[in-house]
Amino acid sequence: MRGTSRREDGLAAIEEAGIEAALADPERPGTVLDLVSDVAAVYWLLGFAGGSAENLEAIHGARLERLLERLVETPVRRFVYEASGSVDAAILERGSEIVRSAGERWRIPVTVAGPQTDIAKLGWELR
């Protein structure tokens, strides 16, 4: 299992949880794509992400869309999107639409996790 942080100071907490830590920035999808060559599932857990409105709109909008377009050419066979949190509901809804559309278009198994979803219970099974 690999966890990412966009800041060096976030890597230690990931490692303390027993997870392989890697630096990646959702604003730069290429940094995420560099890490998926041996990954079967991506969990986009950014419902509580902080930053400017422009940044949040990008990582739940255009950047997310570009990432999903490029994931088709990788071993990733499942994508989970966190559609609840402190990010503006309209931004999260747009992200949910992008994820569902990608799932239909490219037949990528996707899960849009709402406020009642226990992400830990989604498991690692591929659908």
Q: Is residue 127 part of a domain?
A: no
How much is the pLDDT for 125? 44
Residue 122's pLDDT is 63
Q: Would residue 100 count as lying in a domain?
A: yes
DSSP E strand stretches across the chain? 2-5, 20-23, 41-44, 78-82, 110-113
| Residue 14, domain member (yes or no) | yes
pTM of the model: 0.85
User: What is residue 86's three-state secondary structure?
Assistant: coil
Residue at 19 is within a domain = yes
Q: Is residue 38 part of a domain?
A: yes
| Of residues 60, 41, 63, 46, the one with CA closest to residue 109 | 41
Give the domain extent around 57.
2-122
pLDDT at site 71: 92
Instruction: Give the domain CATH number at 106.
Output: 3.40.50.720
Q: How many domains does the chain have?
A: 1
In a domain, 21, yes or no: yes
Looking at residue 114, its pLDDT comes to: 84
Domain annotation covers residue 28: yes
What is the DSSP-derived secondary structure letter of residue 121? G
* Main-chain dihedrals φ then ψ at residue 49, nearest 5 degrees: -65, 150
pLDDT 10s per residue in the chain (127 long)?
Answer: 888 988 899 999 999 999 999 999 988 989 999 999 888 999 999 999 999 999 999 999 999 999 999 998 999 999 999 999 999 999 999 999 999 999 999 998 999 998 777 666 665 443 3
Which pLDDT belongs to residue 74? Answer: 92
Give the separation between CA 95 and CA 127, rounded to whole angstroms.
Answer: 21
